[in-house]
Amino acid sequence: MRDVPPDQIVAAMGTAGSGGGPLVDGWVIPERPYDLLQDGQQNQINVMVGGLADEYFGLSHLASEISKTELENYLDRVFGKQSSQVQEAYKDEISDSPLSAQKIINGDNGFILSSRMWGRLVESRGNDAYVYYFTRPARYLDSTSQRKKI
């Protein structure tokens, strides 16, 4: 991996199903962190993990609105047979804005769920886990004109 050009790694991330997260290089990060913790190979430390209620609003603030059908197709791809349960759980958000609902669902699934899972696993290994969930709206750049000023 150390001999692979960075551009090749970044290009491969999009096709490998990896949108982020730790890069397992076999050296600094020898295996997926969750697997290390699950196998009891982690350092014995307390952790603080969590996320923001509007995490994806800042990450995708320039995204265009999508239709309810586009959201349903997306949820079918991501959640498969559980898609209808997700749609039911977020029906109010979906009726307000399919795009906002998608951002909320992505934040809950990508940040909040993994933080809770990580915290539970850390505690099951004998350490303390502090899981936060911030609901105060974060400021983010909501237009390209604001971005140009910076």
Amino acid, res. 111: F
User: Tokens 């800042």 belong to which residue?
Assistant: 58
Q: Where are the domains positioned within the chain? A: 45-138
pLDDT tens digits, one per residue of 44-77: 999 999 988 888 887 777 889 999 999 999 999 9
Q: Please name the residue that has the structure tokens 């509007």.
A: 54
Reported pTM:
0.69
Position 146 confidence tier, pLDDT thresholds 50, 70, 90: very low
CA distance linking residue 17 with residue 103, whole number of Å: 18
Q: For the ranges 46-55, 64-73, 95-104, 141-150, which has the lowest average pLDDT?
A: 141-150
